[in-house]
Amino acid sequence: MSTAYIHNYEHLAHELDKLDQLISHRAAALRQRRQSMPEDARNKLYISYEEFDWLLTDLSALPPLVERRKQIESLHDEINRRSKISVAHGIFLPMAHLERLFTLSPFELQAIIICLAPELRPKYHTLYAYLQDDMTRQKPRIDLILDLLCFSEPDRWQARTYFSDDAPLFRYGLLRYLDDQQDLQLDPRILAYILGSNRIDERLTPVCRVLEPLQDMGQVFIDSQLKTRITRLVEQYGSSGKLTLYLQGQQGAGKRDLARGICGQLGCPLLYLDASAPDAEALLQTVFRETLLLQAALYIDHADSHDERFARRLEILVMEYGGLVILAGEKAWMSKFDQLAFQSVHLPAADGSLRQAAWENALQGSFPKNDVIAYSAQLAHQFRLTPGQIKAALQSAAHSSMMSNRAITINDLHAACRNQSNQKLAEIALKITPRCHWDDIILPESTLWQLREICNHVKYRHRIFSEWGFDAKLTHGKGLSVLFFGPPGTGKTLAAEVIAAELQLDLYKVDLSGVVSKYIGETEKNLARIFDEAESSNAILFFDEADALFGKRTGIADAHDRYANIETSYLLQKMEEYEGIAILATNLRENMDESFVRRLRFIIEFPFPDAINRAEIWKAQFPSQVPLGDIDYEFLAEQFPVAGGHIKNIVLNAAFLAAQDGGRIQMEHLLDGTRQEFEKIGKLWNEGMVWAK
C-alpha cells in the first residue's frame, strides 16, 4: 500500500531513482544499437550498404527494452500515488506545487527533474556526458531529454513543442539556456524553491521586498467606510482572482498599509515592487512569477511614473498570472484595461480624527497615557501629516532624543513634524525661522488681542470643524486668511513670526517677483504650485506687499487688463480652496480687491507707533548682554517719529559704531545711527536736535 512521503527530500530521491531507470533504459538501447552497428560503419569513413540498411531498422521494440519501460511506468505511477497522498496530508512537495502553479504536464515535470539532477548528485554530469557521447556535455540538452522520456518517434515530435518559447518551461523561465544556447539549466530561483527555500529571487532584491500582512485593519488609518468597501470588493475575487486596484493618494496616505491590511484579511503576504527603479519594467514578468511562488499579492508603488506601454504589459501579465495586483501612485490613473477587472480608489488626506488615532497608536509606550491623549490631539490638528509621515516623525524625534541622551519631549515631536512637512515649498518661497515671541512685539493691546485670536482659531479649529460638525457645512473657506495692513516697518512681518513661533509652524515668505510673470498663464501656474505645495507643508504662507498680487480688478480696456483680471479671479479660487494659513501684508488696504477682503477671516491694522510705543520699541531692540551707556529712550521716541523697522536699523548701525569706538553703545552712537537712517530713507535730519547729557 502506498504511503505519504515523509518530506520533500524523500520525494526528490524517489524521482532520481526513476531518472536512474530512465538512464539505464537509454544506455541499454544505445548499447544494443551500437552492438548491431556494422563494423565498417564505426570508422565513419564511408557509408556502406550494411550501414544503410541498419539505419532503417527499428530496434525500439526489442523485448528487454519493453520490459524496462514497464518498470519505469510502474515506478512513475507509484510516485504519483504517493505524491497525491502526501499533498492530501498537508506535506509540501514543491514539484507538485510547481505543477499546479504553472499547469505543467508530466513530461515538463520530468524535464525539470532531469535538469535538477546534476545540481543534487555530481554523478549525473558523467552520465549525461556518456549518453550524449561527449565528455564536455555534462548538462542536458533537448535531445537528451527527448531520448530519456520518449519511447517512440511520434512522442519525440510531439514533445518538442514543450521547448517552444511560449510553452511553460521557457515562458515562465523555469529552464534556461546556457551561453551556447544548447545546454539547459534549471533557473536558480526554481532550484532553490524545489529544495525548500522560498526566499525572493536575488535578481529582484534591488527593486522588491516581501511585506508582512497587517492582521489588524485598525492599524490602517484611512476612512473606515472606504476600508469596508475595498475589503468587500477584494473578498469577491480572493487572492488568486484577476483583480487590479489603483490606490491614488499622496505619499504616506496609507496606501501600503491598506494593501497589507487587505493581505491580512486574505491570509497572504505582499510582494512590494518599486516601479520607479531603473530595472523594474524589465523584471516585471519575473516579479509576477515570484507572486506565484510566494502565493502573494503584488503591490506596485509609483505605478503612475510609467506610460501606456507599461499598462499594456501589466494587463497581459495579470491576465496570464492572475492574482491580486495593487497599484499605487499620487496622480490619477489614466490608462484603460480592456479585459481586466480594475478599480481606481482615491485615498483622501486623513482628517483630524484619523490623524489623532494614528498619533495615539504611534506614541503608545513613549509617553504616559494622559500625555499620549493630549499630545495626539495637539499634533493631529496642528500638523496635517499623513499616517506615514507620523511614523517617520516619531522615529526622527526618537533619534533626536537619543543623540541628546534624554527622553522624547513634545518639542522634539514639533520639530520632527516640521521636518516631515513638504520641503518643496522652500524651492518657491523663503523659509523664515521664527525667533521672536510675544515679548518682542510692541503693538496696541487691541492689535495684540486680534493676533492672539488668530492663534486660537488655529488651535481650536479641530473642535469647530470636526467635533462640532462645521466641516460638513462648509465646502470651502475652511482655511485661515488674514490681512495685515499698515505703514512700512510697523511690525507686520514680525507679527507673522510671532504667530508661527506660538503655533510652532514653519513660516514661508512668498517672493512675488518670482510669482508674477508677464507671460500669459505663467502667474497662474506659479500660484497653483505655491498653494499645492503649501497644502501639505503645514506652514504659514506670508505674502508681503500683497497688493501687487491681490490688487483690485480693473475695467477691460485691452487684452492685458482681461488677463490681469483672470489672474485675480484665479487667485480668488485658490484662496477659497486653500485650507491652510495665509497672511497677506500690504501698506495700503485700499489697494486690495474687495473680493479678497470679503473672504478674509481677520483684517488687522498695524498703526504707526505713538511716542509711548516707540519708547518700548527702542528698549526691546537691545539684547540683554549688550553693553549700554545712559540711554534716553523717551528723548529718542519723542524726537524721532520712525516705525519699528527703522528703529531696528538704527540700533544695529549704532552697535557697529560703538564696536569701533570703545565697545559701549552711547546716545551719540544712536544719534549718528539715526542720522544715517534718515539720510537713507530721505527724511530731513534736523541738526538742531541736540541731546543734553
Residue whose cell numbers read 495665509? 582
CA distance 56 to 130: 24
Specify the pLDDT at position 347. 92
**Cα dihedral 684, 685, 687, 689 sign:** positive
| CB-CB contact of 341 with 244 (8 Å) | yes
Which residue spans within 164-238 are E strands per DSSP? 175-177, 184-186, 208-211
288 HSE (CA, 13 A, CB side)? 23
Phi-psi region for residue 371, left (φ > 0), alpha (ψ -120 to 50) or beta? alpha
| CB-CB contact of 63 with 70 (8 Å) | no
Using pLDDT thresholds of 50, 70 and 90, give the confidence band for residue 559: very low
* For range 368-393, the mean pLDDT: 87
Specify the pLDDT at position 518. 61
Specify the pLDDT at position 566. 60
Q: pLDDT averaged over the chain?
A: 84
What pTM was estimated for this model as a whole?
0.77
Instruction: Give residue 38's identity as a one-letter amino acid code.
Output: P
Q: Could you tell me how many residues make up the chain? A: 693
CATH of domain 438-605: 3.40.50.300
Specify the pLDDT at position 685. 72
CA distance 288 to 324: 11
Tens digits of per-residue pLDDT, 137-156?
A: 889 999 999 999 988 888 88
Assess whether pLDDT exceeds 80 at residue 637: yes
Specify the pLDDT at position 560. 47
Cα–Cα distances in angstroms (integers) from residue 302 to residues 205, 272, 337, in the given order: 17, 11, 18
CA distance 344 to 434: 42
* For range 512-527, the mean pLDDT: 70
Q: Which CATH number fits domain 611-681: 2.30.40.10, 1.10.8.60, 1.10.3720.10, 3.40.50.620?
A: 1.10.8.60
The residue with greater pLDDT, 259 or 463, is 259
Using pLDDT thresholds of 50, 70 and 90, give the confidence band for residue 73: confident
CATH topology of domain 202-346: Rossmann fold (3.40.50)
Q: Using DSSP, state whether 569 is helix, strand or coil.
A: helix
Could you check whether 438-605 and 611-681 share the same CATH topology?
A: no
Domain ranges of the chain: 8-194, 202-346, 352-405, 438-605, 611-681
| CB-CB contact of 177 with 165 (8 Å) | no
